[in-house]
Amino acid sequence: MQKRFEGRVALVTGAARGIGRATAAAFHAEGAVVALADRDEPGAAAAAKELGGAAFSVALDVAGERSVKAAVDQVIERAGRIDVLVNNAGITRDGTLLKMGEEAWDAVLDVNLKGTFLVGRACAAHMSARGSGVILNAASIVALHGNFGQSNYVASKAGVIGLTKVWARELGKKGVRVNCIAPGFIETDMTAAMPAEILTGMKGRTPLGRLGQAADVARAYVFLASDDASFIHGQVLGVDGGLVMGTG
């Protein structure tokens, strides 16, 4: 059986670990040439080596315009094209409004929102010139409902949803589809470090009664990038186990 992404190239940011790493693996399993991009280039290189075959790593600081241009140019030079961008890179610096400093605000907005803009713009220019491509952005369920102690993160992810809607309007006629995914509570290195009672609370607010796996999100990215989703554009897909946000 032919794999869905044979002959195509996918660039995944924040691919050294977590959802990004699982997403890179999912595209690779479907036959794509995968560029794993991360500020932690050794981590991305280790992930690419684990995948083997048509996978390689790229050093990328999504918040730096020069770094973004160099990384995108490197992927195109090495693989010839970029068919799919998964704008996955993101960070948190949590704190309540009254305790959050400007540094924490700026750090999260720089990576999560500015980084999405910079990488998206660079890849959109390439895709538009070719007349085809898919851009998938990482939002979050908290962008739709808010979350205690995450003013910066929620604002950045709400901004990502806004970017997705604008880009869908601008790029659709150029042959580029744009969508985003809003994950709920997903098991990652970040959640693994949380206290047990917090994790129990997360599960309790999720109707399916469990945390999501990185592979759950990765499979959704693969679907949205595939020809099976060829008429899905400008949408926000929740991968959240039916999450009902509390008022916490």
- Confirm whether 221 is a catalytic residue: no
In this prediction, residues 174-191 reach a mean pLDDT of 92
Residue 144 reports pLDDT greater than 60: yes
The predicted structure's pLDDT at residue 147: 87
pLDDT band at 66 (very low <50, low <70, confident <90, very high): very high
CB 88 within 8 A of CB 17: no
Of 30, 60, 90, the closest CA to residue 224 belongs to 30
Q: In DSSP terms, which residues pair with 133 in a beta bridge? A: 176
Token couple for 129:
């010139």
Pairwise CA distance, residues 69 & 212, whole Å? 33
pLDDT at residue 192 is higher than 80 = no
Q: Give mean pLDDT, residues 207-225.
A: 96
Distances (CA, A) of 32 to 39, 43, 148: 22, 20, 39
Q: List beta partners, residue 181.
A: 138, 237
Range in 1-15, 82-96, 106-120, 188-202 with the lowest mean pLDDT: 188-202
Superfamily of domain 9-239: NAD(P)-binding Rossmann-like Domain (3.40.50.720)
> Of residues 153, 167, 185, 221, which has the active-site annotation?
153
The percent of residues above 70 in pLDDT, for the chain, comes to 98
Neighbouring residues of 169: CB distance < 8 A, sequence distance ≥ 6: 234
Nearest to 159 by CA among 180, 143, 170: 143
At 200 the pLDDT is 86
Pairing assessment for the beta strands 33-38 and 55-59 based on DSSP bridges: parallel
CA distance 75 to 70: 9
How many residues in the chain? 248
pLDDT at 245: 65
User: Which strand (E) or helix (H) includes residue 50?
Assistant: helix 41-51
Rama region for 14: left / alpha / beta (φ>0; ψ in -120 to 50; rest): left
Cβ 168 vs Cβ 190: under 8 Å: no
Task: State the Cα–Cα distance between residues 53 and 137, nearest whole angstrom.
Answer: 26
pLDDT for 92-113, tens place per residue? 999 999 999 999 999 999 999 9
3-state SS, residue 152:
helix
Nearest to 162 by CA among 176, 143, 146: 143
> In this predicted model, what pLDDT tens digit does every residue of 157-170 receive, in sequence order?
999 999 999 999 99
- Is 179 in a helix, a strand, or coil? strand
